[in-house]
Amino acid sequence: MFADMKSVQIVTTIAELRAEIARWRSNGDTIGLVPTMGALHEGHLSLVRQTQSRCARTVTSIFVNPAQFAPHEDFDRYPRTLESDAEKLAQAEIDLIFAPTVAEMYPKGFASRIEVGGPSVGLETDFRPHFFAGVATVVAKLLIAAMPDFAIFGEKDYQQLLVIRRLTKDLGLPIEIGGGAIAREKDGLAMSSRNAYLKPEQRKVAGQLNRILSGAVQSVRAGKTIATEEAHARAELLRAGFDAVDYVAIRDAVTLEKIEVVAREARILAAVKIGGTRLIDNMAI
Ligand code: PAF
């Protein structure tokens, strides 16, 4: 029975992270990084597996980053489950967890902030103006601390993935940024650590997000106009029981610019609210 009990090393400082990675590098190992805010679910674990299939060593970072939350958002109640996360990562046989404190990532006097333009403009930024600077700053710090060959981010936060690709390119970091397909529950709801906030009746409504976006994709493929389908999807989401629709938008999949017709790869993206919980989802057209 005890033979099954696995554990994984946890380090909390950048110096320890760098020392461990330097040791692996000296053996010629390739390094993969899976940045997370913890409360791990199957979506995160699929990112871990993808990284393990490409790199000799996999590090997962767990850090609830205060810089990407506005004062009125859910930083304080965001789930923190380090013990069970560590168990899941031990089962997945990753090599190291980096779980820094806020003081380690943002020591006294910290005064820098990375602003990314391009794909940051619009959508999430219209509703969470602080968000991408917070993400870009912490992701740049994590990438520079670990200097992996490969780092991966989930496609559920599709705009975030494009912002991180832009950031990595603009800073000239020699790191490949991968995107992991969205892991979904049986009814199609995209897996998210925030799904834990949903009450049973809200959870039922939440499953409609994916259904309504899929319907819009089918209609656009069948020839309906983008403007018609965006308006129709918004009305359907409200009818299904969501309290607010921040946006539902069909955009160019590479630049996230507005489009009038689908002439090349496009994506539908949405953010909705139910009770105090905000959910996002997206899919290819
Ligand atoms: O997607 C997330 O979990 C976070 O935004 C990230 C990329 C780990 C940065 O804090």
pLDDT in tens, 168-210: 999 999 999 999 999 999 999 999 999 999 999 999 999 999 9
CB 252 within 8 A of CB 264: yes
CA 169 to chain centre: 18
Ligand 1 centre and the CA of 198: distance in Å?
Answer: 20
Q: What is the pLDDT of residues 60-84, one digit of tens each?
A: 999 999 999 999 999 999 999 999 9
Q: Is the CB of 138 under 6 A from ligand 1?
A: yes
Digit-coded pLDDT (tens) for 142-151: 999 999 999 9
Question: What pLDDT shows up at residue 126?
Answer: 98
Contact 38, 82 (CB under 8 A): yes
Would the pLDDT of 254 be above 90?
Answer: yes
User: Between the CA atoms of 137, 142, 148 and 150, what dihedral angle is there, to the nearest 10 degrees?
Assistant: -60
Question: Residue 6: its pLDDT value, please?
Answer: 83
Would you say residue 37 has pLDDT above 70? yes
The encoded tokens of residue 173 equal 């970091």
pLDDT at 1 over 60: no
Closest among 285, 135, 155, 148 to 220, alpha carbons compared: 285
State if residue 20 touches ligand 1 by the CB under 6 angstroms criterion.
no
What sign does the CA torsion over 101, 104, 105, 108 have?
A: positive
| Partners of 131 in beta bridges | none
Exposure of 203 in the CB half-sphere (CA atoms within 13 A): 12
Residue 44 among the catalytic residues = yes
Question: Is any ligand 1 atom within 6 A of the Cβ of residue 135?
Answer: yes
Q: 37 CB less than 6 Å from ligand 1?
A: yes
Q: Active site residue: 44, 72, 130, 232, which one?
A: 44
Closest protein CA for atom 9 of ligand 1: 135
pTM value > 0.75: yes
The reply to whether ligand 1 has any atom less than 6 angstroms from the CB of 65 is yes
- Give 63 or 2, the one with higher predicted confidence: 63
Determine the atom of ligand 1 nearest the C-alpha atom of 139: 9
> Mean pLDDT score of the chain, rounded to an integer?
96
CA distances from 18 to 64, 97, 142, 144, 180 (A): 20, 12, 11, 10, 25
Instruction: Decide: 191 in ligand 1 pocket, CB within 6 A.
Output: no
Is the CB of 192 within 6 Å of ligand 1?
Answer: no
pLDDT for position 182 = 98
In angstroms, rounded to a whole number, what is the distance separating the alpha carbons of residues 234 and 230? 6
Pocket probe for ligand 1: among 130, 157, 163, 168, the residue whose CB has the most ligand atoms within 8 Å is: 157
The residue whose CA is least distant from atom 5 of ligand 1 is 135
Pairing of strands 266-274, 277-284: antiparallel
Q: Which of 126, 139, 120 is nearest to 65 (CA)?
A: 139
Q: What is the spatial distance between Cα 263 and Cα 121, in angstroms, rounded to a whole number?
A: 21
Q: Whose CA is nearest to atom 8 of ligand 1?
A: 36
pLDDT at 4: 59
Nearest protein CA to atom 6 of ligand 1, as residue: 36
Q: Is the pLDDT of residue 129 over 90?
A: yes
Length of the chain measured in residues: 285
pLDDT at 3 over 60: no
